[in-house]
Chains A and B, each alone.
Chain A
């Protein structure tokens, strides 16, 4: 029989809040973390705004030793380790440098691309004939598995330690990979999540593709507008989200707080066929992914109370709503509540699914639906499918929030959907 899997720890480093208390406060109050960055303007970016988590030098020193911070130039690994360690501690687990490896605990911690800043620094040295000057720090910070390798050492993990990568699906996919490993009895605890770098070298390619908003450089907090008639592209974000997944048996045995249960999920791809391409989703695949997740969770679509959407604030938002409505066979007044965290954080790329899942769990645990800001003018194509009241504009306290569906879709035509449920024993 499969093990049941619950969430016993959370950690988050988001543009609008670092640490669970600050982040919870921000999402409840609809606080945007999007700011204007002069550096982007100086580099001739069309989109000169973004979401960068406020991490101070002091905070860094609480998580990293002076030696680890020497020649350290990898925001993604920084955010991932802070979120990961927070989730680990939140679950009541200890950190002891002198302990044996914990054979029952592992990590799947993903990233879209690793440490572009460190790569850039290294390339300049190599091109100048100074390869020796890379020292020992270039490899560990630029290998894609850098973040999981750092966490593995900090926490003494002795089970699977790896990093997945599937563009904007990464964080959500990591959660499902860890879930399946515990379900299969191959690990008791899996630290799962995703992280993303920030700045011009990771965001430049998106700016060139003209998929980012360039109309709100003067009012950054209004820029990320999922589901709005005036949505004009996504706003880039960064950070990390982490969940400590644990077998129900282990969580009960340890007597720790259970935030909720991962009931099931699905991962698939559209093969870049039909409406799918490298950069656009195959709608049939998206619908199948949602349906498969519901089947895997063993629930009826009507049980879903809330959808934590992918909803990036591009022209694809209406198509996503249509896919949800078709997959659930629910529309109008019968459609679940739906919102997008990206309105406050921007699109945190490889970290998006993980940060948004942390937000989903906090909603479920705290019985609130955070507002989907910046969509007071709901897109008519969306209003034609669902009752606009299903998109809360202000925080909604709700005591019967039982089941949340979370999905992420990524370049490469890849999809992932998770079903979270309140733990009722």
Chain B
């Protein structure tokens, strides 16, 4: 999957949780889920569950802790997809 395609998929997944539309419209690799998108931190676990379902992967606790921004999410998703 290209990076662009992956970002598009992530955009779809995080959309319901986003509280800052401007951050969402400018979503890129450097976007932070909490500070840029203003996602409620309690909802991060829901975002990760939705990512697991969408990509049919399992994200372990250590990876979950790191998934605070788009870049980290992309790396983890790519790693998990490669392991499949």
Instruction: List A residues at the B interface (Cβ < 8 Å).
Output: 66-67, 70-71, 132-133, 135-137
Whether the Cβ atoms of A136 and B43 lie closer than 8 Å is yes
User: How many angstroms from the CA of A41 to the CA of B9 in the assembled complex?
Assistant: 44
Q: What are 11 residue pairs bridging A and B, where the CB atoms are less than 8 Å apart in the complex?
A: A66-B16, A67-B16, A67-B17, A70-B46, A71-B46, A132-B45, A135-B45, A135-B49, A136-B45, A136-B46, A137-B46
Give every chain A residue within 8 A of B45 (Cβ-Cβ). Answer: 132, 135-136
Secondary structure dominating the interface of B: helix
Give every chain A residue within 8 A of B1 (Cβ-Cβ). Answer: none
Report the minimum CB–CB distance from B44 to chain A (whole Å). Answer: 8
Number of interface residues of B (CB under 8 A): 7
Whether the Cβ atoms of A133 and B49 lie closer than 8 Å is yes
User: Known contacts A135-B46, A136-B45; can you find 5 more A-B pairs with CB under 8 A?
Assistant: A66-B16, A70-B16, A70-B46, A136-B42, A136-B46
In the complex, the chain B residue whose C-beta lies closest to that of A135 is B46
User: How many angstroms from the CA of A93 to the CA of B53 in the assembled complex?
Assistant: 42
Report the minimum CB–CB distance from A363 to chain B (whole Å). Answer: 43
User: How many angstroms from the CA of A66 to the CA of B17 in the assembled complex?
Assistant: 9
Instruction: Name the 6 nearest CB pairs between A and B, nearest first.
Output: A136-B42, A135-B46, A67-B16, A135-B49, A136-B46, A136-B45
Give every chain B residue within 8 A of A136 (Cβ-Cβ). Answer: 42-43, 45-46
Per-residue CB proximity of B11-51 to A under 8 Å, as 1/0? 00000110000000000000000000000001101100100
User: How many angstroms from the CA of A135 to the CA of B17 in the assembled complex?
Assistant: 13
User: How many angstroms from the CA of A136 to the CA of B42 in the assembled complex?
Assistant: 6
Instruction: List B residues at the A interface (Cβ < 8 Å).
Output: 16-17, 42-43, 45-46, 49
Give every chain A residue within 8 A of B43 (Cβ-Cβ). Answer: 67, 136
Give every chain B residue within 8 A of A137 (Cβ-Cβ). Answer: 46
Give every chain B residue within 8 A of A66 (Cβ-Cβ). Answer: 16
In the complex, the chain B residue whose C-beta lies closest to that of A70 is B16
Report the minimum CB–CB distance from A142 to chain B (whole Å). Answer: 15
Give every chain B residue within 8 A of A133 (Cβ-Cβ). Answer: 49
Report the minimum CB–CB distance from B57 to chain A (whole Å). Answer: 13
In the complex, the chain B residue whose C-beta lies closest to that of A71 is B46
In the complex, the chain A residue whose C-beta lies closest to that of B53 is A133
User: How many angstroms from the CA of A71 to the CA of B16 in the assembled complex?
Assistant: 12
User: How many angstroms from the CA of A136 to the CA of B64 in the assembled complex?
Assistant: 14
User: How many angstroms from the CA of A133 to the CA of B53 in the assembled complex?
Assistant: 10
Give every chain B residue within 8 A of A71 (Cβ-Cβ). Answer: 46
In the complex, the chain B residue whose C-beta lies closest to that of A137 is B46
Whether the Cβ atoms of A132 and B16 lie closer than 8 Å is no
Give every chain A residue within 8 A of B17 (Cβ-Cβ). Answer: 67
In the complex, the chain A residue whose C-beta lies closest to that of B40 is A136
Whether the Cβ atoms of A132 and B46 lie closer than 8 Å is no
